[in-house]
Structures are given as C-alpha cells and as structure tokens.
Amino acid sequence: MKQLEIIPTKNISGTVEIPGSKSYTNRALVIASMIKGSVVIKNPLESDDTRAMINCLKELGIRVEERVGEINVVGDISEIEEKEYKLDAGLSGTTIRFMLALSCIIPGKKIINGEESLNKRPIGELAGALKDLGAEIDYLGKRGYPPLVVSSSKLKNNRTRLHGDISSQFFSALLMISPIMMGGLEISVMGSQISKPYIDMTLDLMSYFGVKVVNKNYKKYLVKSGQIYTKRNYIVEGDYSSAGYFLAIAALTKSELILKNLNSDSKQADKNFLKILEKFGSEICFEGENLVIKGNGVKALDVDMEDCPDQIQTMAVLLAFAAGKSTISGVRSLRIKETERVLALQNELSKMGIRTESTIDTLTIYGGSPKPAEINTYNDHRMAMSFAVAGIVLPGIIINNPEVVTKTFPEFWKKINGIGVQTK
C-alpha cells in the first residue's frame, strides 16, 4: 500500500492554477454526443472520471479526438450501430448515471457496469424513472444496483417522477437526454430537491447549447418538445470542488493564496463554500478570473451544506481544529457516494482524537486539538484531499493510497507542493 506523509509548514503562499470542472466537462461530453458536427470542448478536466465518460462514448462508436487542452467530439449518437456494447464507468458516478439515461435513446444492447464500489451505489430510482418513460432495463445482479442492461432504444412516454432527496444526478441524466425524446419531458419532484446548484449547472449548460428547461421552483421540470442542441464550442471553467482544498488551507493557516481560472458568476455548487469561509473571517475577492483569499483561522459554527456536499469532508476537517461544538447539516447525500462518507469521516476523525455524532442528515464535531494519524481513504479521492488539509499544520498525518486523487484531480499533490508544502 502506498503512503504519503505531509510535512507541515508555516510558509504557505503562491498561485494555484485550478483545473477545469469535472461536472461541466462530463455534462459537456454527454451533450456534445447529441449534436451533429464537431463540438470542441476547451480546458476540460483530465481525470479518471472524465476518462471513464470518454471511453464509454468511444465504446459506442462516437468519434472523440483528444488534444492538449481540448476534446473534439466529432461524432454523435446518430452514428451508433445496432449491436452489443459494454460500457464501463469505472468509479465514476456521473458516468454510470448519465450513460444509463443516454443508453435508453440509442440502438443496441447496452451493458452498463462499474468497479465494485460503484456497483454498490443505488441506481434504482433513475432506472425506475426511465422505465416509466418506456425503457427496457434489467438488472444483472442485485435489484436496484449496477450492472444493468438496456435493450430498448426509444422513450415513448414523457412524464415521470423522482425523489428529490437521493441524487441530483438522476435529474440531470434525464434532463440532458430530453431533446432527443419525442414530445418533451416533465419530471415531478417528490419531496425536497437536494443539491440544487447541480441542477442549475445542468440547466445552464443545456441553455448554452440552445435548450430551455422550465424550472418550477425545483418541484417540477418541463422541457418543451421540438428543441434541439445547437453546435457550439465550449470552454470549461475552473473547478470549485478542486479549489476548495486550497481555500481551506488558506483559511486554516491564515495564509494568502491566489487561485486562477475561477468564474465569479459560476453556477457550481461548491462556490457556496466561499460564503462559509467568510463566516470564519476569511477575506475573499475576485480579480478577473483570479480569486484571492486571505485566511483568518477557523471557529466552531453550525452550517447547512446541502447545496455544496462535496465540501463537507473538507469542512469537517477544518472544524476538527475549531474549539467547541459544530454541526454540519445536509449530509444525507454523502451516504451513497464513493464510500459512506459520513461514517468514513467519523472513523478517521476518531483516530485523530476528535469526537463526533451523526444522524441521517447531520454530523456534529467536537473540535479542539486533533492528533496526527494514518488516514484511510476508502478509495475515495475526497477523503485523501480533505485530510491533506490537516497535514499542512499537523505533523504526522499520513495518507494511505494517495493516488486516489486521480479520480478528479490528478495534479493535486503537485499543486500542494507548489504552494510550499513538502510531501514524502
């Protein structure tokens, strides 16, 4: 097992080039596959998750040309032949969900699978909605979980329902294929819609490519028939999820960092992390596409992070250093991620001497003086990067399987070294 030790430093400074957004890259790839003609995606994220999406498109016979700093999607779904396809999503949740929906509007027998931990993540809610729309989907193993096989190629119905409190990706998957469906699409939301900014990102990108979605206060989504995606090139903005670790480092160490390639008007969910850091006293400003943060330490607080769930692990690590009781709410979606993230957080914080409590939707942290520990990452990229933040100030933090960061941020450790942090 590989390990990486982080050497604490008080000299944090510099500029970090933030890579392109994973969420926008994978959404752009899916939409581009439904557009006739060449679509160039510039500044895409190059990672395991985006590689999984590209490989699935290539398996379907869609022509995807990769060059330095851009991806050219030349082919589209009209070129897909009637035969059997094996679509391997690896560990990418967005890929398996988006591919399941896409598979319902293309020819052939589509077998959709992932690695073991991905196959443990439920997908029955999305499969059920697609069946309501007319898809023929069968499970090849445990009901409600991958692997699956899709044997149909058209969706005949136009109305379905989804529970809003499971995964926003289920909604995004359906919405993105809606222009290919005859008669449009109507999705009713049962209960409350979680992770609303991820829905906003999908609607934003669909609008960029010419398709309008009526969002009725996150209770219903309507896509009128007759709309088609128009051919345009697309520039992927920087990833706020990746930026979050460096923002947290600046806050914890009271340092100043410049983060490049961030859109101040972004729809990305994790832009909400900025507001939380400002509650700590961090000073944040934009200079064009550069974000400048001056950290001012951390303090105990109660915070709702339902709209930026990918930053919950990072916030939990920060609050471990904040004396007193803090509670993070909106954590329920973390229980069906790469791992059961709430339990993983509790396990690793406990090793550091930090007491925690949890309910289905809250995580309470009794912060103070965390101790060094050997951190298990559970094959979860965000566990590795979140606990790396602790290692910047706490001697003896060792990250097991540090290479898991390749899922979304292959250059993470190099970027950490670039702001003055040594690793070994």
As a whole number of angstroms, the distance between CA 271 and CA 307 comes to 10
Tokens, residue 374? 């050997």
Annotated catalytic residue within 88, 310, 361, 380? 310
Count other C-beta atoms under 10 Å from residue 46's C-beta: 18
Q: Where are the alpha helices (DSSP H) in 13-92?
A: 22-32, 48-59
- Contact indicator for 244, 311 with CB cutoff of 8 Å: yes
Cα 388 to Cα 10, 123, 177, 250, 399, distances in angstroms:
15, 31, 38, 13, 7
As a whole number of angstroms, the distance between CA 305 and CA 346 comes to 17
Q: How many CA atoms lie within 13 A of 326 on its CB side?
A: 24
What does residue 49 show for φ and ψ, rounded to 5 degrees? -65, -45
Q: How far is CA 249 from the centre of its chain?
A: 20
Q: Please indicate whether residue 310 is annotated as part of the active site.
A: yes
As a whole number of angstroms, the distance between CA 396 and CA 8 comes to 9
Q: What is residue 395's three-state secondary structure?
A: coil
Length of the chain as a residue count: 424
Cα 124 to Cα 109, 144, 147, 168, distances in angstroms:
19, 4, 11, 14
Which residues are the active-site residues? 310
